[in-house]
Chains A and B, each alone.
Chain A
Amino acid sequence: MNPLRTTGLSVQRWTKVSRAFTGGAGLLVVVLAFFPMFMSANVVQKLTALFILIMIASMWNALAGYGGLVSVGQQAYIGIGAYGTVWFAHHGVPPYPAMFLAIILAGAISVVFSFLLLRLTGGQFSIATWVVAAAFTVIVSLDKGLGAGTGISLIELNQYGPEHRQDYTYWFALGATAVLLIVLFVLLRSRMGSSLQAIRDDEQAAASVGVRVMAGKRVLYIFAAVGFGAAGAMTLANTLFIQPNSIFSVQWTAFAIFMVLVGGLGTFEGPVLGAILLFLIQDWFADLGVWYLIGLGVVAILFALLLPRGLWGTIEERFGLQLMPVGYRVRGLGRSPGADSGPLEEADATEAAAQT
């Protein structure tokens, strides 16, 4: 092989657009941090709810979209994040540090379950995750110290005034969302990121090229559990009251799937978009009761039929646009620079040229 023949080619990860967007996203987080100072309590609470949705969507997408781990039981960690907070707070830890500890607890519990669950694949894995979540529902429902089936409040939060409490929760949720997204982005851009995608696409083939399959899955599973734990702790802080049947409900997974499929499975930006969409739909139509759920179902079906790659997946495919790039592009293939990251039609032309 002649190294000279490969000169002129380079590997690109960032583009001007993606650099600008990522900088803008960082700036947005800073701006959002000042929101409680001039926004109403209602807006602050709603935005907290949006951050929770973004966490859930991004973490579920990390598992399913990047790791191929289609879990329908991540509500286990939402519940652990929430009930863990209650438990630590009842044992004398101040509420916000209790949330932090509960998030770590979710991660620790996921380490144990990873040894059981990650031995399974496909549908078996999915169902087993659900079984674990259901088991936690039962355990908590039987524990009178945690309010049993009737639920429990985080009364320790009353030590803060209502307006401060809302602001602290907002900042905690904003911080957690930002940290999770940054860690996910760094993880996906690392070598492990491409290894995870290889595992998702074909586990056996990934092993045959030296990918440490189990280690990769475990890192992702634990990270996602931490993220779902954070979403659970924030849900409790935002609503103050939880019941086992709702906090461990499989409906969280249904929402996660909706956001990720509509936004774009396996894209970094898509789930954030999906979360915003679900948030708006909830905000506008939740009063419609059962029709709202029917509407959600119809939207999901329409996306599956008409835009199977989701909103962002379609944009990415049509325009080659990546705002938060986690992949690799080879530049200098003898076409105009823009075409290197360009749409599929141009790539087809390239294959035709290669075949001649």
Chain B
Amino acid sequence: MSKESATPVLSARDIHKHFGALAVLDGVDFSVGADEAVGIVGPNGAGKTTLLNVLAGSLEPNGGSVWFHDQQINGTSATQRSRLGIGRAFRIPRPFGDMTVFENVFVSASSGGGLRGSRCYERCLEVLDLCGLTPLANRRAESLGLLHRKRLELARALATDPVVVLLDEIGGGLTDEEATELVLTIKQLRAQGVAIVWIEHIVHVLLQVVDRLVCMNAGRVIVDGDPDSVLRDEAVIDAYLGSGVV
């Protein structure tokens, strides 16, 4: 079933993660190529966010290995992975509330991005522009609405100048119009050569960006392939979409 990308930038091999007796990830293989956008779908509790946490370094797996290019990165912290070039956006936005939008992005560009001085400012302004946040640059982040919080989440991930970004349901809770705007931004990212891993329940939004789809269920990858064939797969229909949809 699995389709290996030609040059994986980030990959996970035979990942196991359990919380007590509950096996949340049960032998997951996953990879994303340097030029790829991969969507991850699956029912609630399938282990999608846990997989993202393992890839981002927020959780250490109980078994298996995580690779960045050809370097094994098990045991490295979230901080180190950000500095390597793995950016992430949380499902529930986690802005630095007491700081301005610009300062939020500045922290990313100066820490994860390692940029200094005017180059750092330029990068921040570029990212704010890309994410449509420039007019709000001086606003305190905690005063932002949901759409702008999500954009800020994305902007912060981008300011670290990532090779790959991990997005967790950043379309959730948005209106169709807002989600479409977000898709445009993410498409621009792809155009810049950033690899994308995107967990999303709003499948029609996801399909506008990704060229590979992975479906998870009960801690395993059940199907991995091009989006059309994945959505037609019996196992995916059974586990996630339901027979009335397709």
Seen from chain A, the residues whose Cβ lies within 8 Å of a Cβ on chain B are 1-3, 5-6, 9-11, 191, 194-195, 197-198, 200-202, 204-213, 266, 327-330, 333-334, 340-341, 344, 347, 350-351, 353-354
Contact = CB atoms under 8 A, between A and B. Distances in A.
6 contacts: A1-B192, A5-B129, A209-B157, A209-B159, A266-B98, A344-B143
Given A211-B79, A329-B138, A330-B125, A202 B112 contact: no
Contacts of A1: 126-127, 129-130, 188, 192
Contacts of A212: 79, 111
Interface in B81-121: 82-83, 87-88, 90, 94-100, 102-104, 106-108, 110-114, 116, 121
B87 to A, nearest CB: 8
B82 A350 contact: no
Contacts of A347: 136, 138-139, 143
A194 B107 contact: yes
A14 B121 CA distance: 15
B56 A210 contact: no
Contacts of B5: none
A264 B183 CA distance: 41
Contacts of B116: 191
B139 A350 contact: yes
Interface residues of B, number: 54
B233 interface: no
Given A200-B98, A330-B137, A208 B56 contact: yes
Contacts of A207: 58, 77-79, 82
A3 B82 CA distance: 24
A350 B135 contact: yes
B148 interface: yes
A69 B18 CA distance: 32
Most chain A CB neighbours (cut-off 10 Å) among B58, B116, B136: B136
Contacts of A198: 96, 99, 104, 107, 111
Contact of B102 (A206, A213, A330): A330
Which of B78, B107, B157 is most buried by chain A, counting CB atoms within 10 A of its CB?
B107
Given A194-B106, A351-B148, A333 B135 contact: yes
Given A5-B129, A327-B103, A210 B135 contact: no
Contacts of A329: 100, 102, 138
A11 B87 CA distance: 25
Contacts of A209: 82, 87, 107-108, 111-112, 156-157, 159-160
A216 to B, nearest CB: 10
Contacts of B78: 204, 207-208
B27 interface: no
Given A2-B129, A198-B104, A329-B100, 11 more contacts: A191-B110, A191-B116, A195-B111, A210-B79, A327-B103, A328-B103, A329-B138, A330-B138, A347-B138, A350-B139, A351-B144
Given A330-B138, A341-B138, A205 B83 contact: no
A194 B108 contact: no
A195 B111 CA distance: 8
Contact of B96 (A202, A333, A353): A202
